[in-house]
Chains A and B, each alone.
Chain A
Amino acid sequence: MNLLDKSPYYIEVNTKLAPFWEGLNQGEFKTTKCNSCNAIHYPPRIMCPNCYSDNIAWIELPGSGEIESFTHVQIPPPGFNGKFYLVAVKMDELGKTILGRYTSEEEPQIGQKVTMGFDQMGEQAVYVFKSS
Chain B
Amino acid sequence: MSTDVAIVGTGVTKFGKRNDVSYQELFAEAAHEAISGLENISPDTFEGLWVSAAMPELTVEQAHVGNLGAQILGISPKMVSRVEMACSSGSSAIRNAWGAIKSGMIDTAIIVGLEKMNNNPVQANRGLLYVPDVTYEGIHGITAYSGFALAAQEHMEKYGTTREQLSSVAVKSHSNAAKNPKAQFHSMGEVSLEKAMSARMVSDPLNLFDCSPLTDGAAAVVLTRGDKAKEFTDQPVWIKGAGQRVEPSIGVSNMDSITDWKAMRSAVNDAFSMANISPSDIDVAETHDCFTIAEIIEYEMLGLAKKGEGGKFIEDGESSLSGSTPINTSGGLKAKGHPVGATGVAQIVEISEQLRGQSGDRQVRDAKIGVTHNLSGFATHHVVHVLSSEEELR
Residues of chain A with a CB closer than 8 A to B153's CB: 69-71, 110
- Residue of A11, A80, A84, A86 near B150 (CB, 8 A) is A86
Complex Cα spacing A68 to B151, Å: 10
Contact yes or no, B157 A69, CB < 8 A: yes
Q: Given contacts A101-B141, A126-B139, are A73 and B154 in contact (CB under 8 A)?
A: no
Residues of chain A with a CB closer than 8 A to B146's CB: 71, 73, 86
Per the CB 8 Å criterion, the residue count for chain A at the interface is 34
Residues of chain B with a CB closer than 8 A to A11's CB: 134-135, 139
Is A8's CB within 8 Å of the partner chain B? yes
Interface string of B142-156 (1 = CB under 8 A from A): 110110011111100
Complex Cα spacing A78 to B206, Å: 19
Q: Interface size class for chain B?
A: 35 or more
Complex Cα spacing A98 to B132, Å: 13
Is A99's CB within 8 Å of the partner chain B? yes
Minimum distance in angstroms from A125 CB to a CB of chain B: 11
Complex Cα spacing A87 to B160, Å: 20
Interface string of A1-29 (1 = CB under 8 A from B): 00100001111100000000000000000
In the complex, residue of chain B having the shortest beta-carbon distance to the beta carbon of A124: B139
Complex Cα spacing A88 to B134, Å: 16
In the complex, residue of chain A having the shortest beta-carbon distance to the beta carbon of B132: A99
Interface string of A59-99 (1 = CB under 8 A from B): 00000000011111111111110001010100000001111
Minimum distance in angstroms from B267 CB to a CB of chain A: 21
Interface string of A33-71 (1 = CB under 8 A from B): 000000000110000010000000000000000001111
Is B231's CB within 8 Å of the partner chain A? no
Residues of chain A with a CB closer than 8 A to B135's CB: 10-12, 43
Residues of chain A with a CB closer than 8 A to B120's CB: none
Complex Cα spacing A74 to B248, Å: 30
Contact yes or no, A43 B253, CB < 8 A: yes
Complex Cα spacing A105 to B255, Å: 29
Contact yes or no, A10 B134, CB < 8 A: yes
Complex Cα spacing A121 to B259, Å: 31
- Which of A42, A75, A98, A121 has most B Cβ within 10 Å? A75
Pairs A–B under 8 Å by Cβ, sample size 18: A8-B134, A9-B134, A11-B134, A11-B135, A42-B136, A42-B253, A71-B203, A71-B205, A72-B203, A73-B143, A74-B203, A75-B202, A75-B203, A78-B126, A80-B141, A88-B252, A97-B258, A99-B253
Q: A residues bordering B, Cβ < 8 Å?
A: 3, 8-12, 42-43, 49, 68-80, 84, 86, 88, 96-101, 110, 121, 126
Give 10 nearest A-B pairs by CB, closest first.
Answer: A71-B149, A69-B154, A72-B204, A69-B150, A43-B136, A9-B139, A69-B153, A73-B203, A80-B141, A71-B203
* Interface contacts beyond A69-B258, A76-B141, A97-B253: sample of 11 additional A-B pairs, CB < 8 Å, sorted by A: A3-B139, A9-B139, A10-B134, A10-B135, A49-B248, A69-B151, A69-B157, A72-B203, A75-B203, A88-B252, A101-B140
